[in-house]
Structure 1
Amino acid sequence: MPDLIIRPARVDEYDEIARVWMESWVSTGLAQASDFLLANLRARVRREIEDGWSLFVADDQGTIAAMLALHLPKHYLDMLFVGPAYQGQSLGRKLLAFTRTQMPDEIDLRCVRENEKAWRWYEREGFVFEKEEVEPSNGFVMKYYRWERKGSSP
């Protein structure tokens, strides 16, 4: 991955970003790949950008390896999904380091409770569990986390 760069996503990449998102989500075992899921994610990418997402990709010489969606005004890491072919190569850690350059003092996120691999990783990366709540739109129990730079709290 030496030539991999993190950069803002382009509009012409939104469909491919949705595909990477779906493949990564399916790799958790929490969903099955389908045309329906892919269509929903394609629509959601556009809707979320209109609602304030800053969308980034990890670009491996023209191949989208991962997607990262931040809501900067809310200090919110909304989505971090690494394509299955790139998992286990510290790309998530690189995306998180990039996130900390964009939101250096505090980051909030949520993670599906059943995605234990993800929330345990966030905990190892210094995020502190705050609460669990059911997400009404999909029925998943979400675990909410927060990270603050040492010395940044009031």
Structure 2
Amino acid sequence: MSHPVIRPARADEYDEVARVWMESWVSTGLAEASNFLLANLRARVRREIEDGWTLFVADDNGSIAAMLALHLPKLYLDMLFVAPAYQGQSLGRQLLTFTRTQMPDEMYLRCVRENEKAWRWYEREGFVFEKEEIEPSNGFVMKHYRWKRPRLVG
């Protein structure tokens, strides 16, 4: 299998991006797929782009394998979701490596506390836990993380 290409998302792909987001989120066991959830995510993709998201996709010969949403002015990795069929193939690591080219010195992210697989992965990737807070919009407890480029000694 070829490696998907990370590139900016096109407006005509936003609905497909929302589908990948939903399928990946559902794969965590924290939600069930539904037309209602998909409609909400489709609307949210457009709203978040208006509010400052820079949206990327991992394109596998025309199929969207993952979505990555960054808020560059805030140094914020907002969303990184890999479609279930592509999980476990280091695509998340590729996306994180790409993210570090966009925000090379420092970045922040939040992760749902119950999504232990995700936050443990971020910790292995060098993110440092800072605090937990309840997200009022959905009631989830969010773990806040920060990553800083390691200082070179010498």
Give the shorter-chain TM-score range: over 0.9
Q: Distance in 2 between matches of 1:84 and 1:97?
A: 20
Q: Distance in 2 between matches of 1:140 and 1:48?
A: 19
Q: Distance in 2 between matches of 1:8 and 1:139?
A: 31
Aligned pairs for 1:1-154 within 5 A:
1-151=1-151
Q: Distance in 2 between matches of 1:85 and 1:3?
A: 13
SS at match of 1:33: coil
The runs of at least 4 consecutive aligned structure 1 residues that moved more than 6 Å come to: none
RMSD of aligned alpha carbons? 0.9
Q: Distance in 1 between matches of 2:28 and 2:66?
A: 15
Q: Distance in 1 between matches of 2:2 and 2:78?
A: 26
Which residue identity is paired with 2:59? D
User: Structure 1, unaligned stretches of length 5 or more?
Assistant: none
CA contact (8 A) 1:67 1:79 kept: yes
Q: Distance in 1 between matches of 2:123 and 2:46?
A: 30
Tell me the CA shift for residue 12 of structure 1: 0.1
Q: Distance in 2 between matches of 1:151 and 1:125?
A: 16
Q: Distance in 1 between matches of 2:137 and 2:124?
A: 28
Aligned residue-pair number: 152
CA contact (8 A) 1:3 1:61 kept: no
Tell me the CA shift for residue 3 of structure 1: 4.2
SS at match of 2:7: strand
Tell me the CA shift for residue 151 of structure 1: 2.4
SS at match of 1:15: helix
